Amino acid sequence: MSLPQKIRPTPWDKVAFGTDCFELTDCSPETLGAVLRTPGHYSVKVDSLVSKQELHRHGFYYCDTLIEPWCTPQQLARFERDDIAIDSAMTLAEVIDICHGAFAHGRFHRDFNINPGHADARYDNWLRELHRDGKVHGLRYQGAPAGFIARSGDSLVLHAMSERYRGKGLAKYFWSMFCARVFAMGLPEIRSSISVANLATVNLYASLGFRFRKPVDIYHRMVP
């Protein structure tokens, strides 16, 4: 049975999760009702202030709330130190090693209908694609791989610090250096998307002068 246009397949998720996956661009009763006719995993992003009654009525469950940090060159706080560097030639093996376990509190890991190993695979696959396209920039501390930031246009789409270097106050130096380089290319704004539950990252962006906007709640549904 064909699905409405407002239900879009997400084949990259299907590769990782081993089941058909879809994203809703609308949460009207008609669209939500169509979900029940086709097995698979569904997700939808909804304005945080909108009523979720219809979502609950159709079996959707809450997974996360995302916000968009954004910053201009004038807002950016500058932090500098001599023992860090940006390495755009960091190998895939190095960044994949950092990626493992870095997103254990993300929405796909928090979804009880998704195997945690499959959630790990989703981030690995995404990182491989970004690295192939030359969008991954490695972060080195005293020459050792310490993290990575993947950028697409004006958006920081995926980033992580190595477990070895988390909680040591290094991230603000890496992010400040990287954002300053992006602004030097002429971009008027940098943005990202993060979970409100990830307080370490929220505080990082706040310390760099970023502001926050566009909160959205994410709901999932698994149809057997």
Q: What is the pLDDT of residues 106-141, one digit of tens each?
A: 899 999 999 999 999 999 999 999 999 999 999 999
In a domain, 143, yes or no: yes
What's the whole-number mean pLDDT along residues 171-186?
A: 97
Average pLDDT in the chain: 94
CB 100 within 8 A of CB 106: no
Helix, strand, coil fractions of the chain, as percent rounded to 5: 35, 30, 35
Within this chain, do residues 205 and 148 fall inside the same structural domain, yes or no? yes
pTM value? 0.92
Q: Could you give the angle at the alpha carbon of 109 between the alpha carbons of 156 and 52, nearest 5°?
A: 85
Q: How far apart are CA 197 and CA 46, in angstroms?
A: 17
CB 23 within 8 A of CB 218: no
In a domain, 24, yes or no: yes
Model confidence over 179-199: pLDDT tens digits? 999 999 999 999 999 999 999
Within this chain, do residues 83 and 136 fall inside the same structural domain, yes or no? yes
Q: How far apart are CA 212 and CA 194, in angstroms?
A: 10
Domain that holds residue 42: 7-66+218-223
Within this chain, do residues 57 and 88 fall inside the same structural domain, yes or no? no
